Chains A and B, each alone.
Chain A
Amino acid sequence: MPQVVIANRLRDGIVVFLGADRRWMERVQDCAPAISPEDAEKILDLGLQAERDQEVVGPILADVEQRDDGWFPIKRREAIRAAGPTHRADLGKQAED
């Protein structure tokens, strides 16, 4: 199962996803998931280092799957973090797309 590191950005709390070159991306579609469990461990280590470097808070791994418009979390909690509150399409990342 492909996995991505998801966290909140320290400065503003905004949800971010670990992308290529250790860059934190605001859109889950721009994440760089790990395909193997070994790689997942590696990217989580990068996330934890970013937490120690005071860039992000609470990095965790989240399962993602490929959809028409790119990677998207499978679990509801992370899906809500990636999109926004389900009862208001005008809030969160879904409003910015």
Chain B
Amino acid sequence: MYRYDEYDREFVEQRAKQFARQVERRLAGELSEEQFLPLRLMNGLYLQLHAYMLRINVPYGCLNTTQLRKLAHIARVYDKGYGHWTTRQNMQFNWIKLDDMPEILLELASVEMHGIQSSGNCIRNITADEYAGVAADELEDPRVYCELLRQWSSLHPEFSFLPRKFKIAITGARHDRAAVLAHDIGLRLHENDSGESGFEVFVGGGLGRTPFVGKSIRDFVATRDILAYCEAVLRVYNQLGRRDNKFKARIKILVHEMGAAAFAELVEKEYEFIKDGALELAKEEVERIRMHFAPPAYESLPDVSPALESQKAEDTAFATWCKNQLAAHKQPGYAIVNISCTPIGKPPGDIACDQMEALADLADEFNFGELRVTHNQNLVFTDIRKQDLHALWQKLVPLGLSTPNHGLITDTICCPGLDYCALANARSIPLAEKISERFADQERQEEIGEIYLNLSGCINACGHHHVGHIGIVGVDKKNSELYQLMLGGSADENASLGKILGPGFDEDGIVNAVEKVVDTYLEIREEGEKFIDTYRRVGPGPFKENVYRAPA
């Protein structure tokens, strides 16, 4: 993975010290909250319901074990023993004290981490396919461009005060695991007819109160031009994006209001002006960055491991885990392993400091000392020898990290909701736990198959409810929580937005409604048909009928 050079190190240390002085001045009464707010947000520090919340960037989800141990240390010493993986592949701590912040930032800087640009109206942590560099279906490793974009967007003077926050995601694979169509800019690596690699560029996707699927504004931008092209998009947005109304300030509103074609035209004009200039990526620079992402020292192994096959035959629990948690690796004899941080009946994405430390040890032992955070709030070990899978699994079981629910209905995306968040209107975690418990039976989950259930505690949609196959959003109605149910969303290459099925439910009602939706699907699905495909075939009708049918 990318390691800081002298410039990066100095920059992050300076910023940590600068913020330490700002905290000092705040505590000494020299800065008011109004003055301090933008400064703390620039460093990822929010004030939530119970305490300060610190969001720490995990660049495009890549983490090494030294960093993970540091996060565990921060959780133990400065927080309440746990952290929370977010949908931007970051980590949040919920119980931070302002006077600890200077120390925490220095601790983070010592392992090449920080919270800079994890909040505020700037370019946020760039997210990517969690299988980047190892996926069997990948054309090219997107992390190289993630890193180049990270460097370009870090403290970019022109884009430090955008109309609103800005999120970029990249996939280098055919199957989109990074939800690129739900981003301000989504980039999809592919090859043109002459075999040159470049990006299809989508703009104006996003969730929140006004959701949109990103629109393609250019089929192909050569990789060497991607910084210039993104700069052109940002320049148009920075000039024309609305600053008069926070709720209409995202690029998606601009693109929607002026139309994608008109927006693309302006971008092209700007691009003409700046391309072939300083932002063009020199081959040597791309190669220098690519070296950071060189594959580890893989062994030459047969793709089939006889040991693994017999272990699976002997141990059904292990076989179940393998069936659900593994993905195809480009290197024969290796597997990608999904590690669920969403166990049955527990808060999605929470992880205890002891679990972090144990996982760091396992990543050192089995996974070349690295791991990935996913936008689904789980973790991935990218490079496990198939012959080691059983040993790894045996060590994950006592840690509570062996839940075999990847891509199943209990593998929920869920925001912190009203249990923590100052913006939320309703709780989301307890509901995610209830739904998870309702569908806890492994056999039943597998019979249901792939369903992404996403849950948010308000319309801001941090839980990505618009792009869940089943989406739930909580609202407050006269001090009661009301949950709306939507169906038909999807975050992959065929992205779509879910539609509200009908009137909302209370907490128990929504769990029952989800079950009725699932039962309806099981009843009407065709052979081998996934939930989302059934919904797309039949529409909301049969679901609506069953969910809202009066009890006999």
Chain B contacts for A77, CB-based, 8 A: 49, 418
Give the number of residues in A that approach B within 8 Å (Cβ atoms). Answer: 26
Q: Are B419 and A80 in contact (CB under 8 A)?
A: yes
Is A67 engaged at the interface, CB distance under 8 Å to the other chain?
A: no
Tell me if A76 and B481 are in contact (CB < 8 A): yes
Q: Which of A13, A14, A87 contacts B419 (CB 8 A)?
A: A87
Whether a CB of chain A sits under 8 angstroms from the CB of B420 is: yes
Q: Mark B194-230, 1 if CB is under 8 A from A, else 0.
A: 0000000000000000000000000000000000000
Q: Are B481 and A13 in contact (CB under 8 A)?
A: no
Chain B residues in 8 Å Cβ range of A84: 50
Query: Do A15 and B481 have beta carbons less than 8 Å apart?
Result: no
A44 and B96 CA atoms in complex are apart in Å by 26
**B102 contacts the other chain (Cβ, under 8 Å)?**
no
Q: A36: shortest Cβ distance to chain B, in Å?
A: 23
Given A58-B47, A76-B418, check contact A86 B33 (CB 8 Å): no
Mask: chain B, 456-490; 1 = CB below 8 Å from A; 0 = not: 00000000000000000000100101000000000
Interface digits, A65-89 against B, CB 8 Å rule (1 contact, 0 not)? Answer: 0000000001111001100111110
Q: Which of A51, A57, A58, A74 has the most CB of B within 10 A?
A: A57
How distant is the Cα of A86 from the Cα of B424 in the complex, in angstroms? Answer: 14
Which residues from B are CB-within-8-Å of A53? 29
Cross-chain contact B429 with A85 (CB below 8 angstroms):
yes
Q: Mark B37-51, 1 if CB is under 8 A from A, else 0.
A: 000000000011111
A12 to B53, CA, bound (A): 11
B175 to chain A, nearest CB (A): 33
CB of A8 within 8 A of chain B?
Answer: yes
CB distance from A84 to the nearest CB of B (A): 7
Point out the residues of chain A lying under 8 angstroms from B80, CB to CB: 91
Give A84 to B429 CA distance when docked, in angstroms: 13
Cβ–Cβ < 8 Å partners of B174 in chain A = none
Mark B295-338 against chain A: 1 for CB-CB distance below 8 A, else 0: 00000000000000000000000000000000000000000000
Q: Given A81-B49, A87-B347, do A13 and B33 touch, yes or no (CB 8 Å)?
A: no
Taking CB atoms, residues of chain A closer than 8 Å to B99 are: 11-12
B479 contact set on A, CB distance < 8 A: 74-76
Given known pairs A13-B97, A87-B419, the reply for A54 and B29 (CB within 8 Å) is: yes
Output the nearest chain B residue to A12 by Cβ-Cβ distance: B97
Question: When chains A and B are docked, how far (Å) is the Cα of A77 from the Cα of B427?
Answer: 9
| Residue A2 CB within 8 A of the other chain | no
- Rounded to whole angstroms, the CA-CA distance of A30 and B419 in the bound complex is 23
Asked if B433 contacts A10 (CB within 8 A), the reply is: no
- Asked if A11 and B27 make an inter-chain contact with CB atoms under 8 angstroms apart, the answer reads yes
Does B2 have its Cβ within 8 Å of any Cβ on chain A? no
Known: A51-B33, A74-B479, A91-B80. 18 other contacts (CB 8 A): A10-B26, A11-B97, A13-B96, A15-B49, A52-B32, A54-B27, A58-B33, A76-B427, A76-B479, A76-B481, A80-B419, A80-B427, A85-B420, A85-B429, A86-B419, A86-B427, A87-B419, A87-B429
Between A and B, 10 residue pairs with Cβ closer than 8 Å are A11-B97, A15-B49, A15-B51, A52-B32, A53-B29, A54-B27, A76-B427, A81-B49, A85-B50, A85-B419
